[in-house]
Amino acid sequence: MDQLKEEEQQQQQQEQNFLEEETKQLKEYDTIPPTPLIALNHVSRLCKSVQASIDFYVKVLGFVLIHRPPTFDFDGAWLFNYGVGIHLIQKKDGGSLMDARPDKLDPLDNHVSFQCEDMEVMEKRLKETNIKYLKRTVGGEEEEEEEASPIDQLFFNDPDGFMIEICNCENLELVPAGSLGRIRLPRHHHNPPLHINGSQNQTQRQDQA
């Protein structure tokens, strides 16, 4: 009987210690300032066959093929719908597609991208938390082409070695390949400008509709 009571007391003490540690952790999290992230921009996927992946995402999931900026001269494709993009990249060599690379930052590797309102604030946060990152700007060489608008990017790994991107990719106008299709722009977050009916000057945002 005494042993059972002692075990109950030990369990209660463990639970109390856990609650105290959890409360301490939550208070610490409450002191962290908010970040300027606003939405998921796109998911990038290495694939063995770009065309096979296009067929799947278009035919099975209803995504729409989008013209890529001319700056991106590697084999790949962009898809968009439901407020999120999928960027397909042709894998150059064999082997598993699931290999994580904790010590390597390659913008052409698998990553999840988050839309950001303030890149400087986000870069400062990475420095403050001692996160190794890769910074680059692509596009913008030809000012007369809207799709050449510069894109700022920050790349870094999570603890498991899977890559994350922070970007201001909303600067790019979406240009559907062929017909407009059934692109859906949800209202719950900001969406990029949509190129409609072949007119570069006619764009539409869901929040203006």
Q: What is the DSSP string of the chain?
A: -HHHHHHHHHHHHHHHHHHHHHHHHHHHHHTSPPP-EEEEEEEEEEES-HHHHHHHHHHTT--EEEPPPTT--SSEEEEEETTEEEEEEE--S-S-S----TT---TTS-EEEEEES-HHHHHHHHHHTT---EEEEE--S-TT-GGG--EEEEEEE-TTS-EEEEE-GGGSPB-BSSS-------SSS----EEETTEEEEEE-GGG-
> Which residues are tagged catalytic?
165
